[in-house]
Amino acid sequence: MTGTVETPLPRRASKDVAKYLLPEEGAVVATRRHWAVLIGPTFKFLPAFVAGGWLLLFDPDNRVTSSAGLLVILGALVYYGLRVGEWWMRHFIVSTRRVLLTSGVIVRTVTLLPLRRITDLTWKETLFGQLLGYGTFRFESAGQQQALSEITFLPSADVLYRRVSALLFSSDWGGGASGGDDEGNPEPAGPPPRRPRSDVRRDTEPIQGLPPQQA
């Protein structure tokens, strides 16, 4: 089965794991971001929704204010629906080979980072993160700046940090710390050592039967 995991995953996460992981990859982490990511959009949505409702009900007989209020309400609902849909569809996945971030409601996008390119992992937890149970991962990798350099609003970040650290910096999982190329394939074996030829003489004994050298 594609992308086997240790524990059952939510239906949406299982679809992403089955779709984007290779058959020989195993998912170590597969989760969507913490619901706290919706706090900001909620604070933007509510005032617009209330204002639209006020315009709609202020003077029902006035078509201008009623139409404006209806448009504001519809715009607020579309905005908030897209934010909720994006939260629902986005998943942070760590396999035995790569780190992936799937996103997009209409157009799906998959960003990945091979484990072997990750040189350091930082876990940051703010005061609100400690209260609500989320944190931020910051990946440092060899080479140029990566799109997956920072993942915010990860739930149970302390548990995820331990699992990802064990995957990155030990060979127990057979993942990033074990041998292989950026995709986790075994590195090609080097040429075999050269064996000495058996027909080459290595002694320094004089050859018998030769005439004596002239002085």
| One-letter identity of residue 182 | D
**How confident is the model at residue 8, as a pLDDT?**
61
**Which residues pair with residue 123 across a beta bridge?**
137
Phi, psi of 70 (to 5 degrees): -65, -40
Beta-sheet strand order (sheet of 91-95): 4-5, 26-31, 91-95, 98-103, 109-114
CATH class of 1-33+91-178: mainly beta
The pLDDT tens digits along the chain (215 residues) read 444 444 566 677 888 888 888 888 888 889 999 999 999 999 999 999 999 999 888 888 888 888 899 999 999 999 999 999 999 999 999 998 899 999 988 888 999 888 888 888 888 989 999 999 999 998 888 765 667 888 999 998 888 888 888 888 765 544 454 445 544 455 555 555 565 555 555 555 555 665 665 55
Q: Where are the domains of the chain?
A: 1-33+91-178, 35-89
Please tell me the predicted confidence (pLDDT) of residue 148. 81
Q: Which pLDDT does position 88 carry in this prediction?
A: 92
Rounded CA gap, 37 and 43, in Å? 11
